[in-house]
Amino acid sequence: MKRITVLWSITMLFLVLTACAKDTDTSADSSSATKQDQGQNHLEEHLVDPDDIVATVNGTEVKGEEYNALIYSIQQELKASGANSATDDENLKNQVLDILIGNKLLLQDATSNNYKVSDKEVDDEFKSIKKQYGETQFNEDLEVIGSDVEKYKQQLKDSLLVSKYIEKELSLQEVTEKDIMAEYEEMKKQAAETETEENGEVPEYTEIQVQLKDILEQQNLQEAIFNRIDELKQSAEVKYNI
């Protein structure tokens, strides 16, 4: 399985900073910039007091700090993709809470199954992430989400722990050549239905075969994770406070 820590962070947004893309495109027009600012302001309206308890999972508290960090992560992802971050308020809140609750359930199950992460593993991953972003950018992002190095390392440790758990405990459906070809044919069909000069032609199968396989593997991983969360929810005591 490809570096599952990265896939896990993308899927569940546990590693807030690694899921946040830096906005380096300075060529956007003023209209686009205005939309992004409006979207940022909209999402910031959802922030809560960092010490608030937004939910409990089997007696474990989910704090406002975690909720705010995920809101910020969503904001950064939408900003990086150029999408409009305005969304239905209630839907956004529920999605964020569901992600956080899913994180807690998986972490609790990983801990109960005696999965462990060493300090060295955490330190090595921390150094890698910090090097990727640069110390200044890394510290600025921590400040924005109201976190610090100690808290971030704990989140990182939790994420690595769940990654080990996922890799060992979840059975993923194998992606076959037939699956990849079917995905490619679907891509061609959709391209033909929405054909414009801007879309261009679909690349040859051999040119995107590897990328299509990666996409399907990630989809299978996501499905396996969400199925496990649904299983854990059946016997869990979950309380929403917002």
User: What is the bridge-based pairing of β-strands 60-63 and 53-57?
Assistant: antiparallel
Convert the pLDDT of each residue in 227-240 to its tens digit. Answer: 999 999 999 999 99
Nearest in space to 121 (alpha carbons), one of 149, 151, 166, 159? 159
Distance CA 55, CA 207 (A): 46
Structure tokens at 120: 């060295």
Convert the pLDDT of each residue in 101-128 to its tens digit. Answer: 998 999 999 999 999 999 999 999 899 8
Convert the pLDDT of each residue in 186-221 to its tens digit. Answer: 999 988 887 655 556 889 999 999 999 999 998 898
Mean pLDDT, to the nearest integer, of 151-177? Answer: 89
Cα–Cα distances (Å) from 59 to 101, 108, 116, 237, in that order, read 12, 11, 21, 8
pLDDT confidence of residue 26? 40
Backbone angles phi, psi at 240, to 5 degrees: -95, 130
Comparing 29-43, 58-72, 199-213, the range with the smallest average pLDDT is 29-43
